[in-house]
């Protein structure tokens, strides 16, 4: 399991407890510390878990509005605790985190849903996040990080430039 995936897992567990116990936001750091100590005591994430959890809390109302808008048949309060918090985490990374590419945010949320949710959780999360992403693209709201070509494409481009530094000019 990658460090970022483990961090997302701990963030999900923290948000789940916060939501399940109806805790005030001030208690979330305490829950996060406990979760980290219990499940990954030697894990050092450079603050990524806190960034995720705090990001969801800071944008909680906006995120829940997006869920209601893009899953109109499933009001937030009727969605299972796991799926609801996977969506919150995924939407935070998709809409509000400039460092995480959209496709990574969607894929990670789907993996969390498959790992912790029910049989249809992965498809449900994929549908909601996919619809939000399509709307972002249609509205011209793509993140800067999404416009950077993937590493493989950049490497191939560099190789092509090295192989033909003078273009395709075959004359001496």
How confident is residue 168, by pLDDT bands cut at 50, 70 and 90? very low
Q: Which domain holds residue 104?
A: 3-147
Residue 79's Cβ-count burial label (10 Å; 0-12, 13-18, 19+) is buried
**CA-CA distance, 122 to 109, in Å (whole number)?**
8
**CA-CA distance, 145 to 8, in Å (whole number)?**
19
pLDDT in tens, 83-99: 999 999 999 999 999 99
**Domain membership flag for residue 157:** no
**Domain membership flag for residue 164:** no
What's the pLDDT score for residue 41? 84
**What average pLDDT does range 103-108 have in this prediction?**
96
| Whole-number percent of the chain with pLDDT over 90 | 72
Q: Is a pLDDT exceeding 70 seen at residue 160?
A: no
Name which of 67, 58, 62 is nearest 131 in CA terms: 67
**CA-CA distance, 89 to 115, in Å (whole number)?**
15
3-state secondary structure of 141: coil
**Domain membership flag for residue 46:** yes
CATH of the domain at 71: 1.10.940.10
Tokens of 158: 């560099």
Q: How many domains does the chain have?
A: 1
**What average pLDDT does range 42-53 have in this prediction?**
88
Q: Report which DSSP code applies to 150.
A: P
What's the pLDDT score for residue 149? 79
Name which of 5, 103, 102 is nearest 48 in CA terms: 5
**CA-CA distance, 69 to 76, in Å (whole number)?**
10
**Domain membership flag for residue 160:** no
Query: Lowest mean pLDDT: which of 24-38, 91-105, 125-139?
Result: 24-38
**Domain membership flag for residue 161:** no
| Whole-number percent of the chain with pLDDT over 70 | 87
| CA-based end-to-end distance of the chain | 53
What's the pLDDT score for residue 143? 93
**Domain membership flag for residue 74:** yes
**Domain membership flag for residue 166:** no
**Domain membership flag for residue 129:** yes
């Amino acid at each position: 399991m990658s460090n970022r995936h483990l961090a997302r897992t701990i963030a999900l567990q923290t948000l789940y407890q916060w939501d399940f116990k109806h805790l005030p936001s001030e208690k979330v750091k305490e829950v996060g510390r406990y979760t980290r100590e219990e499940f990954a005591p030697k894990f050092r994430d450079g603050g990524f878990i806190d960034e995720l959890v705090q990001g969801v809390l800071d944008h909680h109302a906006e995120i829940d509005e997006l869920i209601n808008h893009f899953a109109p048949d499933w009001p937030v309060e009727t969605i299972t605790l796991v799926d609801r918090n996977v969506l919150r985490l995924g939407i935070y990374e998709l809409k509000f985190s400039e460092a995480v590419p959209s496709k990574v945010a969607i894929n990670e949320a789907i993996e969390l849903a498959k790992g912790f949710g029910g049989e249809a959780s992965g498809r449900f999360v994929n549908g909601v996040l996919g619809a939000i992403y399509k709307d972002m693209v249609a509205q011209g709201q793509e993140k800067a990080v999404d416009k950077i070509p993937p590493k493989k494409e950049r490497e191939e481009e560099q190789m092509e430039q090295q192989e033909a530094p003078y273009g395709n000019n075959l004359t001496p």
